[in-house]
Chains A and B, each alone.
Chain A
Amino acid sequence: GQQLNQSPQSMFIQEGEDVSMNCTSSSIFNTWLWYKQDPGEGPVLLIALYKAGELTSNGRLTAQFGITRKDSFLNISASIPSDVGIYFCAGQIYGKLTFGQGTILTVHP
């Protein structure tokens, strides 16, 4: 099935560093979402973006919905050890989500 192009596939960073990951698609979506998934759990919503060009923050997280509606990025500032996990982007139309392949984030204390 279709999956969005998410990069990078993995990141290994030091605590306190900023992180950036992005997602692109050949299709247009009405909503872009960013999820975090911990081992053995389902994805948990971090940020939802509803309008092209929208820039939204949630604590240390900032995400943007690309103007073309075909891309999005997520930034995490001042990373901490609990940021470890797998981050997924997802595009949504009528509730149906199409996910990226995920970015594995490792934070070294």
Chain B
Amino acid sequence: GAGVSQSPRYKVAKRGQDVALRCDPISGHVSLFWYQQALGQGPEFLTYFQNEAQLDKSGLPSDRFFAERPEGSVSTLKIQRTQQEDSAVYLCASSLVLRQTANYGYTFGSGTRLTVV
């Protein structure tokens, strides 16, 4: 597709429920990133994939958060036993080429707004 697609756009989960958020990156984009954006804050890095390899997961807040990208394309962010503090917008971004000092085609999706009640 023309842009990064995320689904669902909105998700309401009961506390303790597991959720799965999907990201379809731009076709051919090697790198994929997940960010968490709390209300009134800037996005915060969660994790990064290059193709199917998860190269950095230092931003995942707890072991309840898990991300995968098994075929190097679509990625899923899973949150187990959701808690109220998990309520946020989850943004996915993909990039064509990754270099230390460059930012080639780094494009964000519209995000999934997760509300835990």
Chain A residues proximal to chain B, CB less than 8 Å: 1, 3-4, 6, 30-31, 33, 40-45, 48, 50, 88, 90, 92-102
Contacts and interface: CB of A to CB of B under 8 A. Distances in A.
Interface of B: 4, 31, 33, 35, 40-45, 48, 56, 59, 91, 93, 95, 98, 100-103, 106, 108-111
B75 to A, nearest CB: 15
Nearest to B45: A96
Contacts of B98: 94-95
Contacts of B59: 1
Nearest to A32: B103
Do most interface residues of chain A lie in helix, strand or loop, or is the interface mixed?
strand
B100 A42 contact: no
A103 B110 CA distance: 19
Contacts of A96: 33, 45, 48, 56
Contacts, number: 67
Contact of B4 (A42, A98, A102): A42
A31 B101 contact: yes
Contact of B108 (A43, A94, A101): A43
B31 A95 contact: yes
A99 B43 contact: yes
Given A43-B108, A48-B103, A95 B42 contact: no
A94 B45 contact: no
B102 A50 contact: yes
A101 B42 contact: yes
B100 A40 contact: no
Given A40-B111, A45-B103, A97-B43, 12 more contacts: A1-B59, A3-B42, A30-B100, A33-B103, A40-B110, A41-B111, A42-B4, A42-B109, A50-B102, A95-B98, A97-B45, A99-B43
Contacts of B56: 96
